[in-house]
Structure 1
Amino acid sequence: MPVPLRLGAPGDPAAGIAQWVRADPIRRLVARFGGTWPDGDLTEVLRFLDEFSARHWDFRDGRERPDAREPNLDPATAELVLASAAALGLVRPVAPARPAYAHLVVLGGLAHACVRRVGYAAHLLRTGLRVTGEVAVLGSFRPLADWERRTLAHAGLPADETEVDVLDSAVRRIFRVTAPAQQDGLEAGHPHHSWSSRTYRPAGLPPVRVLAAPSSEPDRRRAHTADTQRFWAGHVQLAPGDDVLMVTAPIYVPFQHCDALRTLAVPYGCDIDTVGVDPTLADLAVLPEQTLTPGRYLQEIRSAIRAMRALHAGLDPR
């Protein structure tokens, strides 16, 4: 059975974090890679796991996820990694916990993931999920890599230039809309300073907003997920008690769930559920999910650890 990611009510997720990071799958991975489990409280365990995973499970070396190297693991270690990832909730999709939400948020990513996540959101809505507010499709002005554009073209989809363009094209095609009912934004001459918002009104469904935010550190980097989530929360006037469903890929659920708790649940008092796209759905087959390797799973276990450490630090600064 998967380790449950029960992070509690907004403002009190420490018990869920402790359960996840102290679970047997994490302990077995640490032992397999030569580590000794630390003494100390949750803060110390998170510090240890962050530093340990930086040495043993970080294959990006500062690069984007698709450019991470794949480690050369022996078969027994690779099998342990895959089993641990499944137990920790990074493999199998889980259905939404509630029949209705105030908002449904689709997180952007690589081009194929953008299309699949928009498709899954539409599937949820068309099979009965109720949303009383809006569907928010959150992306960035990240330029697509050449291989992403080739992947889109091979599937017969527009070879767009940026992540938010892919999301916008997917919304138009999947929700059967042609033009936004409202649009706003700022073209500041540089994507780190610019933003855009386009709201569509598909027949019989809640409004769908496609949003790209400016960076909170424009001199250093492009906008990341937390920037976009905060920017959206301000636009939609997120309120205490709002139920928000986040859609991502299963491999990113623990990491992005904790990030959403830190950036949305804690400051705004809303409730967050996070689900991964169900890869078995036939209507998502236009762009199949890429093969996920043991190295990818180790990398995202590390991402989850770092997100939990950041969340815990915000709740218990010391």
Structure 2
Amino acid sequence: MRCHLFRGSQHRAVLFGYTDNQSFCGINQEIRETGMQATSSKKYVGLLSGVLCISFSAIFVKLAAVDSTVSAFYRCFYSSIFLFGIALVRGELRGASWRWLVPALWGGLALAADLIIWHKTILYIGAGPATIMANSQVIFVTIFGFFFFKERISPWFPLLIPFIFLGLFLTIPTIQVLVSPGIGFFLGILVGIAYSGYLLGLRFAKMKAGKGYPEILSLAVFMAVTGAFVGTYGAVVEQVDFIVSSWRSQLFLVLMALLSQSMGWILIKTNITRLPSHRGSLLLLIQPMLTMLWGFLLLGEPLGPVQILGMVLALGLIALYQLRLAPED
């Protein structure tokens, strides 16, 4: 790499004690690398902040005390209104390219399928194992990222994944009664595929749009499509009553929509698409462990030594991969 000092740079080089071109160029290179590292760190901080926000979703659902399909509908309904409002204020509706719309539509349908199938999976294998199966998305997202986005994968990744899931499994508070493990396992795999479809929809939408991608507007469309599909399914198939008369339940549904479904996914969406698929999807595994921690602190749910061991194992391996073993971004 060649580096030439212009007159102003020469003066600064002499001022700081660098009398030769090469020394000062080395300092410039270090400054650029430091700036790139700071930018990369912001992506991870933003993504982890989003994971922190969505980790409260299950807490809000329990506090709202409504049917699971009802909560899924309202979290998307309220968040889509909030997100459309932000997009309008930001001017994203003016002159926006709509090339991202098709990925947003199938991504929204994938998220709706994820929410619906996940609740059915709970009936067969319990909430804990169902959540573990949902997070199998990390496997599918990584595979898709390898084939479609030509992303490099560390050979350590497939070796660590079973132990990370072992840690997640240990966080389950009680032994679940398996009503039909075969059906539950199959549905759990479908949940993981649906969740990965949503995450890949976010990535493809941004790729299709190119420069000037409306981050908030597209997320509003994702949530609106999800809410419409969940609402239609609930009304036609389950014949659910969507009227929630309790102001307390509505309050927690609104809080869930604003904090988890809107703020959380804004932070996740704007950062996860800037990271390799295997890195971003792996960090999402932190969500169920945070949810368990909030359940212990806020709702008095059990948290024993085995669960703590599981958290330490899973978080430790995730940190090891992210900091030491993953390929460079």
Q: Which has the higher strand share?
A: 1
| Both structures adopt the same fold (TM-score exceeding 0.5) | no
Q: Which has the higher helix share?
A: 2
TM superposition score normalised by structure 2: 0.26
- Greater relative contact order (Cα < 8 A, sep 6+): 2
TM superposition score normalised by structure 1: 0.26
